[in-house]
Amino acid sequence: MNIGLAQFNSVIGDFPGNVKRILAAYRTCLDAGADLVLTPELSLVGYPPRDLVFKSQFVPKCLQALDYLAGEIREVPLLVGYVDHHHPTKPGKPFRNAAAWLENGVIQHRIWKTLLPTYDVFDERRYFEPGDSCEPILWNGHRIGVTICEDIWTETYLQRPFYDRDPIVELTTKGIDLLVNLSASPFHLGKPLLRRAMIGGLARKAKVPVVYCNAVGANDQLVFDGHSMVTTNDGRIHTQLTGFIETCAIVDPFTSAPQTDAPLSSCDAEQLYQALVLGVRDYVTKCGFSTVCLGLSGGIDSALTAAIAADALGPENVHGLTMPSPYSSRGSVEDSFALAKNLGIQCDEVPIKNAFEAIKATMQPLFKDKPEDVTEENMQARLRGLMLMALSNKDNHLLLTTGNKSELAVGYCTIYGDMCGGLAVISDLPKGRVYEVSRWINREREIIPWNTIDKSPSAELRPDQKDQDTLPPYDVLDGILELYVENQLSADEIISRGFEESTVRWVQRRVDLNEWKRHQAAPGLRVTSKAFGIGRRMPIVQKFVG
């Protein structure tokens, strides 16, 4: 049995466009000899559609597109993900996360997702009613178990059992000789290897081959990495599709597998870079933009952001501004121009000194003889935000913000200043990872100037300023943040691991105090297991300390 895996990139709510994409992938697989074609979870809809499903015409238009698509499927069956209505007279949520088996011009089978994730970035119980039973599909002498994403995540990944049902047990008890899964599993660092281990273990447990088709692309803050795969019934990897790109493959899961597992990149920096490039490309283009702008400070954060944008969109579509203040070194400006030359992007210099002096003079009657402090530092950041937003408005660029996760966590950023923008590209990269990815980019030649990587980071908003004047060393800060934000340990638990108490308490306080800033930040691309944004929902006003 030759199964076609159509790993492609849906756009949420673009039913006509998604139909065209599905048919193009279907025909590619058909020409390559497929007997059955799989697409990802909600491939007709795009994942996650969120509250769009509540719009009165959303699901009807989805079903209309499904009927049209079914009429085009004549040669071999197609499994496609979509949203359906729940039974109108039964209690429960109004919709189903569904898959349709299309064959001979009609819908032959409808399959309901059984396990509905409602944790981390997922909120499916808000919308969907789970399936009542899991039944194999009999086709061409094979008994096929069809599952949708979470239906196979019953043991390995979850730290505690979330469900009292196991669709795989239900299917294997009824007898299957093949298990397929339509998935929209978002990326975070380490997820591809985790999936491989989980699906291999699932195949050994069920004693059948597993065919797993995952979405690729990015929607809002989520990046989907693909890495679709097929395993043999003993859990070995038969075929692994390349990650972060649209691709199709034809696989017979009943043939023997290679003796060794297919290669999967173990380089964290490479995976992070690929995810961010894909995330920027899809966010910008799916929002209807073709060009971006950003501030270039001569520092490593803006340099990495520019490198990602140039790769994602083409250097001709990236416009950088370097905006020296009275405290900026000439070296920072030169580093910005060196970066722009290496990337092939446009860079212009717009000093803010005169504007800064004008604002100080305007405010002097109110400030009187009060000494300069963080107020004047923030003025400079907000002047830069003003200029970048002006460039964005005038030339219809999407403005990219350049702050990293370490800074955003403790509020080392200026609201309405360097936080201005439409997408926070590296807001889920801790500072240590910023350096790691930047060095990976330079693995063959200098792209990000080595001086930018090697010099001490500084906002350059006051004389001789260094980040470490205000913050703990980044390796210490990142270690505490990982335990506090991602692992959600208490301050006492973190201190017990050897971190200095005063530093831990300071970081904890800063993280908690700056929730209000993060609620107003641009959406950021999720690449770790716990990003600020949809997966971390903390109240702004609260008094808990722990």
Spatial CA neighbour of 103 closest among 3, 45, 36: 36
Query: Under 8 Å CB-to-CB from 74, ≥6 apart: which residues?
Result: 104, 105
Cis amide prior to 48 (ω within 30 degrees): yes
Q: How deeply is 122 buried, as exposed, middle or buried, from its count of CB atoms within 10 A (0-12, 13-18, 19+)?
A: middle
DSSP 225-281: EB--EEE-TTS-EEEEPPBTS-EEEEE-TTSPPPSSPPP----HHHHHHHHHHHHHH
Residue 482 designated active-site: no
Residue with tokens 């002006």: 390
Q: Taking a C-beta distance cutoff of 8 angstroms, is the pair 78, 96 a contact?
A: no
Contact present, 115 and 163 (Cβ < 8 Å):
yes
Tell me the pairing of strands 398-401 and 292-295. Answer: parallel
**With the C-alpha atoms ordered 64, 68, 69, 71, is the resulting torsion angle positive or negative?**
positive
What is the secondary structure of 22-49 as a DSSP string?
HHHHHHHHHHTT-SEEE--TTTTT-S--
Q: Which of 29, 103, 113, 517 is labelled catalytic?
A: 113
- 113: annotated active-site residue: yes
3-state secondary structure of 108: strand
Q: Which 8-state DSSP code applies to residue 498?
A: T
Which residue in 149, 293, 413, 420 is the catalytic one? Answer: 149
Q: Do residues 278 and 9 touch, judged by C-beta distance below 8 A?
A: no
Tell me whether residue 41 is one of the annotated catalytic residues: yes
Please identify every residue annotated as catalytic.
41, 113, 149
